[in-house]
Structure 1
Amino acid sequence: MTDLFTLDAEVRTDLGKGASRRLRHANKVPAIIYGEGKEPVSLTLEHKNVFRAQQEEAFYSHVLTINVDGKPVECLLKDMQRHPFKQVVMHLDFLRINAKNAVQVNAPIHFLNEEEAEKLGGTMAHHMNEIAITCLPADIPEYIEIDVANLEVGQTLHLSDITLPKGVTSDELAKGESHDQAVVTLNAAKVVVEDEDDSAPEAPTEAPAE
Protein backbone atom coordinates (compact mmCIF):
# COMPACT_ATOMS: atom_id res chain seq x y z
CA MET A 1 0.00 0.00 0.00
CA THR A 2 1.32 3.39 -0.97
CA ASP A 3 1.47 6.46 1.26
CA LEU A 4 -1.46 7.90 -0.73
CA PHE A 5 -3.69 5.29 0.88
CA THR A 6 -2.40 5.81 4.40
CA LEU A 7 -3.63 8.97 6.11
CA ASP A 8 -2.98 10.31 9.59
CA ALA A 9 -5.97 11.53 11.56
CA GLU A 10 -6.67 13.00 14.98
CA VAL A 11 -9.77 12.40 17.07
CA ARG A 12 -11.77 15.63 17.43
CA THR A 13 -14.16 16.50 20.22
CA ASP A 14 -15.00 20.03 19.07
CA LEU A 15 -18.07 19.31 16.92
CA GLY A 16 -20.69 21.31 15.05
CA LYS A 17 -20.78 23.55 11.97
CA GLY A 18 -18.73 26.27 13.63
CA ALA A 19 -15.99 23.84 14.58
CA SER A 20 -15.91 22.35 11.07
CA ARG A 21 -15.65 25.84 9.60
CA ARG A 22 -12.68 26.63 11.83
CA LEU A 23 -10.99 23.39 10.80
CA ARG A 24 -11.36 24.21 7.11
CA HIS A 25 -9.91 27.67 7.66
CA ALA A 26 -6.92 25.89 9.21
CA ASN A 27 -6.57 23.72 6.07
CA LYS A 28 -7.94 20.64 7.77
CA VAL A 29 -10.78 18.30 6.81
CA PRO A 30 -13.45 17.11 9.25
CA ALA A 31 -14.33 13.42 8.89
CA ILE A 32 -16.07 10.53 10.57
CA ILE A 33 -15.30 6.82 10.75
CA TYR A 34 -17.97 4.23 11.62
CA GLY A 35 -18.99 0.60 11.13
CA GLU A 36 -18.05 -2.89 12.38
CA GLY A 37 -20.32 -2.50 15.42
CA LYS A 38 -18.17 0.26 16.94
CA GLU A 39 -19.08 3.79 17.89
CA PRO A 40 -18.58 6.50 15.24
CA VAL A 41 -15.49 8.62 15.82
CA SER A 42 -15.10 12.19 14.56
CA LEU A 43 -11.72 12.90 12.97
CA THR A 44 -9.53 15.65 11.57
CA LEU A 45 -7.16 15.18 8.61
CA GLU A 46 -4.71 17.44 6.81
CA HIS A 47 -6.35 18.83 3.68
CA LYS A 48 -3.17 18.71 1.56
CA ASN A 49 -2.82 14.96 2.18
CA VAL A 50 -6.49 14.25 1.48
CA PHE A 51 -6.49 16.39 -1.66
CA ARG A 52 -3.43 14.62 -3.06
CA ALA A 53 -4.89 11.18 -2.32
CA GLN A 54 -8.34 11.89 -3.79
CA GLN A 55 -6.78 12.69 -7.16
CA GLU A 56 -6.01 8.97 -7.54
CA GLU A 57 -8.84 6.89 -9.02
CA ALA A 58 -8.06 3.96 -6.72
CA PHE A 59 -8.63 6.11 -3.62
CA TYR A 60 -12.38 5.63 -4.03
CA SER A 61 -12.37 1.81 -3.95
CA HIS A 62 -9.01 0.94 -2.38
CA VAL A 63 -8.65 -0.29 1.19
CA LEU A 64 -7.33 2.70 3.13
CA THR A 65 -5.41 2.83 6.38
CA ILE A 66 -6.37 5.69 8.67
CA ASN A 67 -3.95 6.16 11.56
CA VAL A 68 -6.32 7.35 14.28
CA ASP A 69 -4.09 8.94 16.90
CA GLY A 70 -1.38 6.54 15.74
CA LYS A 71 -3.56 3.40 15.73
CA PRO A 72 -4.11 1.97 12.18
CA VAL A 73 -7.70 1.32 11.13
CA GLU A 74 -8.54 -0.25 7.77
CA CYS A 75 -11.51 1.31 6.04
CA LEU A 76 -13.16 2.35 2.78
CA LEU A 77 -14.17 5.81 1.67
CA LYS A 78 -17.98 5.91 1.66
CA ASP A 79 -18.67 9.57 0.97
CA MET A 80 -16.82 12.76 0.10
CA GLN A 81 -18.25 16.26 0.12
CA ARG A 82 -16.55 18.87 -2.07
CA HIS A 83 -16.95 22.62 -2.26
CA PRO A 84 -19.27 23.48 -5.20
CA PHE A 85 -16.60 25.52 -7.03
CA LYS A 86 -13.40 25.64 -4.98
CA GLN A 87 -10.86 22.81 -5.02
CA VAL A 88 -11.63 22.00 -1.41
CA VAL A 89 -12.66 18.73 0.23
CA MET A 90 -15.31 19.59 2.80
CA HIS A 91 -15.96 16.30 4.63
CA LEU A 92 -15.14 12.57 4.50
CA ASP A 93 -17.01 9.47 5.63
CA PHE A 94 -14.98 6.30 6.24
CA LEU A 95 -16.37 2.80 6.82
CA ARG A 96 -14.38 0.40 9.02
CA ILE A 97 -13.86 -3.01 7.43
CA ASN A 98 -12.94 -6.51 8.51
CA ALA A 99 -10.77 -8.63 6.22
CA LYS A 100 -13.14 -11.57 6.77
CA ASN A 101 -16.33 -9.71 5.84
CA ALA A 102 -17.43 -8.92 2.28
CA VAL A 103 -17.93 -5.26 1.37
CA GLN A 104 -19.87 -3.41 -1.31
CA VAL A 105 -17.94 -0.91 -3.45
CA ASN A 106 -18.18 0.74 -6.86
CA ALA A 107 -15.35 -0.31 -9.16
CA PRO A 108 -14.53 2.08 -12.04
CA ILE A 109 -14.64 0.74 -15.60
CA HIS A 110 -11.75 1.10 -18.04
CA PHE A 111 -12.89 0.64 -21.64
CA LEU A 112 -10.16 -0.77 -23.89
CA ASN A 113 -9.71 -0.45 -27.69
CA GLU A 114 -12.56 1.99 -28.27
CA GLU A 115 -10.79 3.48 -31.30
CA GLU A 116 -10.54 0.02 -32.88
CA ALA A 117 -14.26 -0.56 -32.45
CA GLU A 118 -15.20 2.85 -33.82
CA LYS A 119 -13.24 2.18 -37.02
CA LEU A 120 -16.29 0.13 -38.04
CA GLY A 121 -18.12 3.42 -38.42
CA GLY A 122 -19.93 3.57 -35.09
CA THR A 123 -19.82 5.74 -32.00
CA MET A 124 -19.37 4.38 -28.48
CA ALA A 125 -22.01 5.09 -25.83
CA HIS A 126 -21.14 4.40 -22.17
CA HIS A 127 -24.20 3.54 -20.09
CA MET A 128 -22.13 2.91 -16.95
CA ASN A 129 -18.79 4.21 -15.71
CA GLU A 130 -18.58 1.98 -12.63
CA ILE A 131 -19.97 -1.35 -11.46
CA ALA A 132 -21.40 -2.00 -8.00
CA ILE A 133 -19.69 -5.13 -6.69
CA THR A 134 -19.39 -7.25 -3.56
CA CYS A 135 -16.22 -9.05 -2.47
CA LEU A 136 -13.75 -9.47 0.36
CA PRO A 137 -11.55 -6.42 0.97
CA ALA A 138 -8.47 -8.24 -0.35
CA ASP A 139 -10.26 -8.92 -3.66
CA ILE A 140 -11.35 -5.34 -4.42
CA PRO A 141 -10.17 -4.54 -7.97
CA GLU A 142 -8.64 -1.16 -8.66
CA TYR A 143 -10.77 -1.08 -11.82
CA ILE A 144 -12.56 -3.43 -14.22
CA GLU A 145 -11.33 -3.65 -17.81
CA ILE A 146 -13.79 -4.14 -20.67
CA ASP A 147 -12.33 -4.78 -24.12
CA VAL A 148 -14.70 -3.47 -26.81
CA ALA A 149 -12.43 -4.19 -29.80
CA ASN A 150 -14.74 -6.91 -31.14
CA LEU A 151 -17.98 -5.03 -30.54
CA GLU A 152 -20.14 -4.83 -33.68
CA VAL A 153 -22.21 -1.83 -34.76
CA GLY A 154 -25.53 -2.00 -32.95
CA GLN A 155 -24.22 -4.41 -30.30
CA THR A 156 -24.64 -3.79 -26.57
CA LEU A 157 -22.66 -5.38 -23.77
CA HIS A 158 -24.62 -6.04 -20.57
CA LEU A 159 -23.43 -6.80 -17.05
CA SER A 160 -23.82 -10.53 -17.74
CA ASP A 161 -21.31 -10.19 -20.60
CA ILE A 162 -18.60 -8.80 -18.32
CA THR A 163 -16.04 -11.17 -16.79
CA LEU A 164 -15.41 -10.03 -13.23
CA PRO A 165 -12.27 -10.93 -11.27
CA LYS A 166 -12.31 -14.05 -9.12
CA GLY A 167 -14.23 -13.59 -5.90
CA VAL A 168 -16.10 -10.54 -7.21
CA THR A 169 -19.87 -10.50 -7.88
CA SER A 170 -22.16 -7.88 -9.41
CA ASP A 171 -24.67 -6.40 -6.97
CA GLU A 172 -27.20 -5.79 -9.76
CA LEU A 173 -27.03 -9.30 -11.23
CA ALA A 174 -27.51 -10.70 -7.74
CA LYS A 175 -31.00 -9.13 -7.83
CA GLY A 176 -32.04 -11.17 -10.88
CA GLU A 177 -32.02 -11.19 -14.68
CA SER A 178 -34.21 -8.08 -14.85
CA HIS A 179 -31.26 -6.10 -13.45
CA ASP A 180 -28.89 -7.10 -16.27
CA GLN A 181 -28.12 -3.49 -17.16
CA ALA A 182 -26.54 -2.26 -20.38
CA VAL A 183 -22.90 -1.21 -19.96
CA VAL A 184 -21.76 -0.01 -23.40
CA THR A 185 -23.17 0.15 -26.94
CA LEU A 186 -21.52 0.70 -30.32
CA ASN A 187 -24.15 2.83 -32.04
CA ALA A 188 -24.38 3.27 -35.79
CA ALA A 189 -22.99 6.62 -36.89
CA LYS A 190 -25.65 9.19 -37.66
CA VAL A 191 -26.07 9.96 -41.35
CA VAL A 192 -26.57 13.65 -42.08
CA VAL A 193 -28.91 14.25 -45.01
CA GLU A 194 -28.42 17.66 -46.58
CA ASP A 195 -31.56 19.54 -47.57
CA GLU A 196 -31.96 20.57 -51.18
CA ASP A 197 -30.86 24.09 -51.98
CA ASP A 198 -33.81 26.28 -51.12
CA SER A 199 -32.17 29.29 -52.73
CA ALA A 200 -32.99 28.18 -56.29
CA PRO A 201 -36.00 30.05 -57.75
CA GLU A 202 -39.15 28.01 -58.02
CA ALA A 203 -40.60 27.35 -61.47
CA PRO A 204 -43.72 29.43 -62.21
CA THR A 205 -46.94 27.46 -61.84
CA GLU A 206 -48.82 29.65 -64.32
CA ALA A 207 -47.86 31.19 -67.60
CA PRO A 208 -47.20 34.92 -67.33
CA ALA A 209 -50.01 37.13 -68.54
CA GLU A 210 -49.45 38.65 -72.03
Structure 2
Amino acid sequence: MQIEINATKRELQGTSASRRLRRASRVPGILYGGTAQPQSIEFDHNELFQHLRKEAFYSSVLTMNVDGAKEMCLLRDVQRHAYKPLILHVDFQRIDATHAIHQKVPLHFVNADIAPGVKLSGGMVQHVMTEVDVKCLPKDLPTFIEVDLKDLVGGASIHVTQLTMPAGVTPVLHRGEDPVVAAVVVRGGGAAAEELEAAPVETQVITEKKPVEKTEKK
Protein backbone atom coordinates (compact mmCIF):
# COMPACT_ATOMS: atom_id res chain seq x y z
CA MET A 1 0.00 0.00 0.00
CA GLN A 2 1.35 3.39 -1.04
CA ILE A 3 0.79 6.06 1.62
CA GLU A 4 2.20 9.57 1.27
CA ILE A 5 2.19 12.20 3.99
CA ASN A 6 3.11 15.86 3.64
CA ALA A 7 5.40 17.74 6.01
CA THR A 8 7.34 20.98 6.15
CA LYS A 9 10.70 21.73 7.74
CA ARG A 10 10.49 23.22 11.20
CA GLU A 11 13.06 25.87 12.05
CA LEU A 12 11.88 27.02 15.48
CA GLN A 13 12.28 24.47 18.26
CA GLY A 14 11.59 24.23 21.96
CA THR A 15 8.54 24.00 24.19
CA SER A 16 7.15 27.45 23.37
CA ALA A 17 7.50 26.91 19.63
CA SER A 18 5.75 23.54 19.88
CA ARG A 19 2.86 25.09 21.78
CA ARG A 20 2.44 27.79 19.15
CA LEU A 21 2.39 25.11 16.44
CA ARG A 22 -0.34 23.15 18.21
CA ARG A 23 -2.45 26.27 18.68
CA ALA A 24 -2.20 26.72 14.90
CA SER A 25 -3.39 23.11 14.33
CA ARG A 26 0.11 21.93 13.48
CA VAL A 27 1.93 18.91 14.93
CA PRO A 28 5.68 18.95 15.64
CA GLY A 29 7.67 15.88 14.68
CA ILE A 30 11.07 14.56 13.73
CA LEU A 31 12.49 12.50 10.87
CA TYR A 32 15.68 10.65 11.79
CA GLY A 33 17.89 7.75 10.78
CA GLY A 34 19.94 6.92 7.71
CA THR A 35 22.96 8.99 6.72
CA ALA A 36 21.24 12.38 7.00
CA GLN A 37 20.94 14.44 10.15
CA PRO A 38 17.65 14.38 12.10
CA GLN A 39 15.21 16.88 10.63
CA SER A 40 12.62 18.71 12.71
CA ILE A 41 9.34 18.78 10.79
CA GLU A 42 5.69 19.74 11.25
CA PHE A 43 2.37 18.45 9.93
CA ASP A 44 -1.18 19.61 9.42
CA HIS A 45 -3.04 18.14 12.38
CA ASN A 46 -6.18 17.12 10.52
CA GLU A 47 -4.27 15.36 7.73
CA LEU A 48 -2.08 13.50 10.21
CA PHE A 49 -5.06 12.62 12.42
CA GLN A 50 -6.87 11.02 9.48
CA HIS A 51 -3.79 8.98 8.57
CA LEU A 52 -3.48 7.74 12.14
CA ARG A 53 -7.04 6.39 12.04
CA LYS A 54 -5.93 3.80 9.47
CA GLU A 55 -4.31 0.58 10.68
CA ALA A 56 -2.04 0.38 7.63
CA PHE A 57 -0.37 3.68 8.53
CA TYR A 58 1.33 2.03 11.51
CA SER A 59 2.82 -0.91 9.60
CA SER A 60 3.45 0.39 6.08
CA VAL A 61 6.45 1.93 4.38
CA LEU A 62 5.46 5.58 4.07
CA THR A 63 6.53 8.23 1.61
CA MET A 64 7.38 11.43 3.48
CA ASN A 65 7.12 14.56 1.31
CA VAL A 66 9.12 17.28 3.08
CA ASP A 67 8.86 20.51 1.08
CA GLY A 68 8.92 18.53 -2.17
CA ALA A 69 11.72 16.11 -1.22
CA LYS A 70 10.45 12.55 -0.79
CA GLU A 71 11.94 9.90 1.49
CA MET A 72 10.83 6.43 2.62
CA CYS A 73 10.19 6.08 6.32
CA LEU A 74 8.34 4.22 9.07
CA LEU A 75 6.21 5.61 11.88
CA ARG A 76 8.04 4.97 15.15
CA ASP A 77 6.26 6.91 17.88
CA VAL A 78 3.04 8.85 18.46
CA GLN A 79 2.33 11.03 21.47
CA ARG A 80 -1.32 11.86 22.12
CA HIS A 81 -3.14 14.12 24.55
CA ALA A 82 -4.34 12.25 27.63
CA TYR A 83 -8.04 12.83 26.95
CA LYS A 84 -8.45 15.15 23.96
CA PRO A 85 -8.35 13.91 20.34
CA LEU A 86 -5.06 15.69 19.75
CA ILE A 87 -1.72 14.49 18.38
CA LEU A 88 1.15 16.08 20.29
CA HIS A 89 4.26 14.74 18.55
CA VAL A 90 5.29 12.09 16.01
CA ASP A 91 8.56 10.37 15.16
CA PHE A 92 9.48 8.85 11.79
CA GLN A 93 12.56 6.83 10.87
CA ARG A 94 14.17 6.93 7.43
CA ILE A 95 14.73 3.57 5.76
CA ASP A 96 16.80 2.25 2.87
CA ALA A 97 15.14 0.11 0.20
CA THR A 98 18.20 -2.19 0.12
CA HIS A 99 18.35 -2.91 3.85
CA ALA A 100 16.07 -5.18 5.89
CA ILE A 101 13.81 -3.55 8.46
CA HIS A 102 12.16 -4.70 11.68
CA GLN A 103 8.52 -3.77 12.06
CA LYS A 104 5.49 -4.90 14.04
CA VAL A 105 2.65 -6.01 11.78
CA PRO A 106 -0.98 -6.49 12.93
CA LEU A 107 -2.57 -9.94 12.91
CA HIS A 108 -5.97 -10.48 11.30
CA PHE A 109 -7.83 -13.52 12.65
CA VAL A 110 -10.24 -15.34 10.32
CA ASN A 111 -12.60 -18.34 10.49
CA ALA A 112 -12.91 -18.37 14.28
CA ASP A 113 -16.60 -19.17 13.96
CA ILE A 114 -15.96 -22.43 12.07
CA ALA A 115 -13.04 -23.65 14.17
CA PRO A 116 -13.90 -27.16 15.52
CA GLY A 117 -12.97 -26.06 19.04
CA VAL A 118 -15.58 -23.32 18.88
CA LYS A 119 -18.29 -24.90 16.73
CA LEU A 120 -18.18 -28.42 18.15
CA SER A 121 -16.66 -28.05 21.61
CA GLY A 122 -18.18 -24.75 22.67
CA GLY A 123 -14.77 -23.22 23.24
CA MET A 124 -13.72 -19.62 22.93
CA VAL A 125 -10.83 -18.19 20.95
CA GLN A 126 -8.41 -16.13 22.98
CA HIS A 127 -6.04 -13.78 21.13
CA VAL A 128 -2.74 -13.72 22.99
CA MET A 129 -1.00 -11.57 20.37
CA THR A 130 -2.44 -8.85 18.16
CA GLU A 131 0.76 -8.10 16.22
CA VAL A 132 4.03 -9.82 15.38
CA ASP A 133 7.53 -8.45 14.89
CA VAL A 134 8.90 -9.28 11.43
CA LYS A 135 12.04 -8.72 9.40
CA CYS A 136 12.05 -8.07 5.65
CA LEU A 137 13.03 -5.67 2.91
CA PRO A 138 10.81 -2.58 2.71
CA LYS A 139 9.22 -3.78 -0.54
CA ASP A 140 8.07 -7.01 1.15
CA LEU A 141 6.52 -5.46 4.27
CA PRO A 142 2.90 -6.68 4.60
CA THR A 143 0.20 -4.43 6.03
CA PHE A 144 -1.10 -7.40 8.06
CA ILE A 145 -0.64 -11.16 8.50
CA GLU A 146 -3.65 -13.45 8.37
CA VAL A 147 -4.15 -16.09 11.06
CA ASP A 148 -6.52 -18.84 9.88
CA LEU A 149 -8.25 -20.53 12.82
CA LYS A 150 -10.41 -22.96 10.81
CA ASP A 151 -8.53 -26.10 11.97
CA LEU A 152 -8.10 -25.14 15.63
CA VAL A 153 -9.64 -27.78 17.92
CA GLY A 154 -10.52 -27.39 21.56
CA GLY A 155 -7.47 -27.06 23.78
CA ALA A 156 -5.15 -26.37 20.84
CA SER A 157 -3.10 -23.27 20.10
CA ILE A 158 -1.27 -21.58 17.24
CA HIS A 159 2.32 -20.41 17.67
CA VAL A 160 4.29 -17.79 15.76
CA THR A 161 6.27 -20.40 13.80
CA GLN A 162 2.98 -21.84 12.51
CA LEU A 163 1.92 -18.58 10.88
CA THR A 164 2.00 -18.37 7.10
CA MET A 165 4.42 -15.55 6.33
CA PRO A 166 4.47 -13.75 2.96
CA ALA A 167 7.48 -14.32 0.73
CA GLY A 168 10.59 -12.58 2.03
CA VAL A 169 9.14 -12.06 5.52
CA THR A 170 10.40 -13.84 8.65
CA PRO A 171 9.28 -13.50 12.28
CA VAL A 172 11.75 -12.02 14.74
CA LEU A 173 12.21 -14.55 17.53
CA HIS A 174 14.76 -14.95 20.27
CA ARG A 175 16.55 -18.27 20.56
CA GLY A 176 14.16 -21.01 21.61
CA GLU A 177 11.16 -18.66 21.58
CA ASP A 178 7.87 -19.58 19.92
CA PRO A 179 5.07 -17.63 21.64
CA VAL A 180 1.39 -18.50 21.47
CA VAL A 181 -0.61 -16.35 19.06
CA ALA A 182 -4.11 -17.69 19.77
CA ALA A 183 -5.79 -20.66 21.42
CA VAL A 184 -9.21 -22.23 21.82
CA VAL A 185 -10.00 -22.58 25.49
CA VAL A 186 -12.82 -24.92 26.52
CA ARG A 187 -14.43 -25.41 29.89
CA GLY A 188 -12.13 -27.45 32.09
CA GLY A 189 -8.89 -25.85 30.84
CA GLY A 190 -6.25 -28.10 29.34
CA ALA A 191 -2.96 -27.50 27.60
CA ALA A 192 -4.10 -24.34 25.86
CA ALA A 193 -5.20 -22.78 29.14
CA GLU A 194 -1.84 -23.59 30.71
CA GLU A 195 -0.02 -22.01 27.75
CA LEU A 196 -2.14 -18.88 28.02
CA GLU A 197 -1.34 -18.53 31.70
CA ALA A 198 2.35 -18.78 30.94
CA ALA A 199 2.25 -16.43 27.93
CA PRO A 200 3.45 -12.86 28.47
CA VAL A 201 0.86 -10.10 28.13
CA GLU A 202 1.47 -8.08 24.98
CA THR A 203 1.12 -4.32 24.98
CA GLN A 204 0.40 -2.51 21.72
CA VAL A 205 2.88 0.33 21.76
CA ILE A 206 4.79 1.76 18.83
CA THR A 207 8.09 2.73 20.30
CA GLU A 208 11.75 2.94 19.57
CA LYS A 209 14.60 4.59 21.41
CA LYS A 210 14.76 8.20 20.27
CA PRO A 211 17.97 9.48 18.68
CA VAL A 212 20.27 11.44 20.96
CA GLU A 213 19.97 14.44 18.65
CA LYS A 214 16.32 14.82 19.62
CA THR A 215 16.23 17.16 22.62
CA GLU A 216 13.39 19.59 22.03
CA LYS A 217 10.30 17.46 22.86
CA LYS A 218 7.62 19.83 23.98
**Pair in the same fold by TM > 0.5:** yes
What aligned pairs does 1:107-118 form with structure 2 within 5 A after superposition? 107-117=105-115, 118=118
Give 1:73 deviation, angstroms.
1.1
Deviation string 1:139-184 (CA, Å, 9 cap, x unpaired) is 0001000100110000011111112111011111xx222x111100
Partner letter of residue 123 of structure 1? Answer: M
Show structure 1 runs of 5+ residues with no match.
Answer: 192-210
Give 1:111 deviation, angstroms.
0.3
Q: Which residue of structure 1 lines up, in the alignment, with residue 95 of structure 2?
A: 97
* CA distance in 2: counterparts of 1:93 and 1:58, whole angstroms: 16
Q: Which residue of structure 1 lines up, in the alignment, with residue 12 of structure 2?
A: 14
Give 1:21 deviation, angstroms.
1.1
Deviation string 1:36-73 (CA, Å, 9 cap, x unpaired) is 12210000100111011111110001111111111111
Q: Which residue of structure 2 lines up, in the alignment, with residue 119 of structure 1?
A: 119
Identify the structure with bigger relative contact order (alpha carbons < 8 Å, sequence gap 6+). 2
Partner letter of residue 140 of structure 1? Answer: L
Runs of 4+ that moved beyond 3 A? none
Q: Contact 1:123–1:189 at 8 Å: present in 2 too?
A: no
Give 1:13 deviation, angstroms.
1.4
What aligned pairs does 1:1-210 form with structure 2 within 5 A after superposition? 2=2, 5-117=3-115, 118-120=118-120, 121-172=122-173, 175-177=174-176, 179-189=177-187
Q: Contact 1:159–1:183 at 8 Å: present in 2 too?
A: yes
Q: Which residue of structure 2 lines up, in the alignment, with residue 195 of structure 1?
A: none
Counting aligned pairs with the same residue, the percent is 41
Give 1:190 deviation, angstroms.
6.3
- TM (norm. structure 1) is 0.85
- TM (norm. structure 2) is 0.82
Q: Contact 1:24–1:90 at 8 Å: present in 2 too?
A: yes
* CA distance in 1: counterparts of 2:188 and 2:113, whole angstroms: 17
- SS class of match (1:160): helix
Give 1:7 deviation, angstroms.
1.4
Aligned-pair Cα RMSD in Å? 1.3
Partner letter of residue 171 of structure 2? Answer: S
For residues 149 and 47 of structure 1, do their structure 2 counterparts lie closer, same or farther at Cα, with a shift above 3 Å needed?
Answer: same
* CA distance in 2: counterparts of 1:27 and 1:119, whole angstroms: 50
Show structure 2 runs of 5+ residues with no match.
Answer: 190-218
Partner letter of residue 186 of structure 1? Answer: V
* CA distance in 2: counterparts of 1:52 and 1:149, whole angstroms: 34
